[in-house]
Amino acid sequence: MKIDLDGIQSRIVALPLPARNYIGLKAGLKDSIYFLQVPNSDPFYEGGWTLSRWTLEDRKTEKLAENVKSFDLSADGKKMLLEIASHPADADGDDEGGGGPASWFIAAADAPVKPGEGKLNFGEMKARVDPHAEWEQMYHEVWRIERAYFYDPSFHGTDTAADEKRLEPYVASIVSRADLNYIFQEMLSAFSVGHMRGHGGEIPEAKKVPGGLLGADYEIKDNHYCIAKIYTGGDFNPRVKAPLAQPGLNVAVGDCILAINGQELTAAQDIQELLEDTAGRVTSLRVAAADGKNPRNISVTPVASEAQLRNIDWIEANRKKVDKLSEGKLAYVYLPDTEKEGFINFNRYYLAQTDKQGVVVDERFNSGGQVADYFIEVMSRKLESYWTPRYGVVEHSPTMAIYGPKVMLANEFSGSGGDALPWLFKEAKLGPVVGKRTWGGLVGIGETPVLMDGGEVTAPSVAFFSPKGEWDVENHGVDPDYVVDQDPKAMSEGHDPQLEKAVSLAMEELGKQTTEQPKKPEYPNYHK
């Protein structure tokens, strides 16, 4: 069948399907189309999807399966391979329920999948492996990947063919997969590029016993562990569970933990010993006030990590500090990355504080992601007009904007997208950057073939250069306008030198600007 491409764009018609978030479109036989439908509007949703088929003949949509993670059609279009999550995703879309291992099915492609039909059993599947043969193959495979995907066809001057021959004898002498990773590191180090790394592979891991954390700081009083601080997670991320801050527990700072799962706890023990293997499990605590009154048993679910709880507490402490130092004039926005959480944080914090006169944007420890030019576009908005109603306050346009001074914080742990963001901030002349020179990695990575044992090695494939036609940032970073060290003594006393410098610069600039809006003009009288 010959396709007439001339003017094809004017012959496109919409399928009679409702507006939804459709992904994974595949063309089947008999003019049928297969697609996954995301059950909510979250573009980052990671739960299972609904698999459906639409046919041109009857123009109807038929649901084939639910909670599908991925699918593929056979070459003749008669069968399909399905990856189905073991449990449905939670209602909030965090996929905690469907986070377990998925099951695989082969089913007919022209009818709804029956429960349990075509399930594949991998329990008895075995494969004979020759490790040295695999390591030899993967060694050469990584060189092929770099030659095919690395952005510079000259590999920064590295003679890849010569290095491949020179290092090959070492592969024959290695005795573990970890040794092969070491060779990968050595052979690719000459490329001298930031995003070059590898992970995974068939490496044995020791069996671990998970711990359990209550999201709290403790102090010893009268031979008991007493609560000095409870990390609540704030109201900013409902997915972050704070064990001691759940409704109905009524645990307060000063309360003491007398026992865990019926076992008495004293200062002579490490509290983590009694919390061992409790992460994600309902656990009984006996608590009482500091004076021993009101002893009671409560049920909590410890978490495996407190990182998010403590990070949110740090963000909130910074926001309150900026608010106090600026007497309520400055907003504070923290950007952990330039991916999902970074975009969520920007929209949540920045757009909620457009009543402020200036802003401190903190991207310290930013782990990168995408080029977040959206942030720059929003922060670049200028005042265009005022609007007054009959009653109420005068408003401005655009409404979602902070017009006053802007200062960005960055440090040596800000990298990749966290390099690009301060570079763009400076290029747009939005304000000064305070802190330390950033990591310096702006040759980004894309998808590369997975190695035969599941390991991966990146091949940085897309490099940044400036509008001046110059390579920039890679292997150097973005220099701050004001270099500020985090003095350990000052920090131990509760100070944040970098944050305080940013606030002082913003306040200094704010003092030079007029924040008064023009006086509302007199109403027109067309009958004078």
Q: What pLDDT digit, counting tens, does each position of 70-119 carry?
A: 899 999 889 999 999 875 544 333 444 344 578 899 999 989 999 888 99
The whole-number pLDDT of residue 137 equals 97
Question: pLDDT > 90: what percent of the chain?
Answer: 73
Element (H, E) at 182: helix 177-188
The whole-number pLDDT of residue 131 equals 94
The whole-number pLDDT of residue 96 equals 41
Domain coordinates in residue numbering, the chain: 16-108, 131-199, 216-303, 326-441+477-512
Q: What angle do CA 420, 424, 425 make, to 5 degrees?
A: 115
Return the CATH number of 131-199, one of 3.30.70, 3.30.750, 2.60.40, 3.40.190. Answer: 3.30.750
Q: What share of the chain is helix, strand, coil (3-state, %, to 5)?
A: 25, 20, 55
Whether 445 shows a pLDDT value over 90: the answer reads: yes
Distance CA 50, CA 381 (A): 40
Looking at per-residue confidence, does 215 or 33 come out higher? Answer: 215
CATH superfamily of 326-441+477-512: 2-enoyl-CoA Hydratase; Chain A, domain 1 (3.90.226.10)
Mean pLDDT throughout 321-348?
Answer: 96
Distance CA 524, CA 526 (A): 6
The whole-number pLDDT of residue 92 equals 39
Distance CA 264, CA 269 (A): 10
pTM: 0.83
Looking at per-residue confidence, does 460 or 34 come out higher? Answer: 460
Q: Domain 216-303 carries which CATH code?
A: 2.30.42.10
> Which pLDDT band holds residue 1 (cuts at 50, 70, 90)?
low
Whether 498 shows a pLDDT value over 50: the answer reads: yes
- pLDDT tens-digit series, residues 284-313: 999 999 888 889 999 999 999 999 999 999
DSSP state letters, 71-111: EEE-TTSSEEEEEE-SSPPPTTS--STT-S--EEEEEETTS
The whole-number pLDDT of residue 95 equals 41
The whole-number pLDDT of residue 87 equals 59
Average pLDDT, the chain: 91
Whether 47 shows a pLDDT value over 80: the answer reads: no
Looking at per-residue confidence, does 193 or 238 come out higher? Answer: 193
* Least confidently predicted of 31-45, 104-118, 243-257, 439-453: 31-45
Whether 502 shows a pLDDT value over 90: the answer reads: yes
The whole-number pLDDT of residue 44 equals 53
Whether 236 shows a pLDDT value over 80: the answer reads: no
Mean pLDDT throughout 208-224?
Answer: 94
Type of residue numbered 48: G
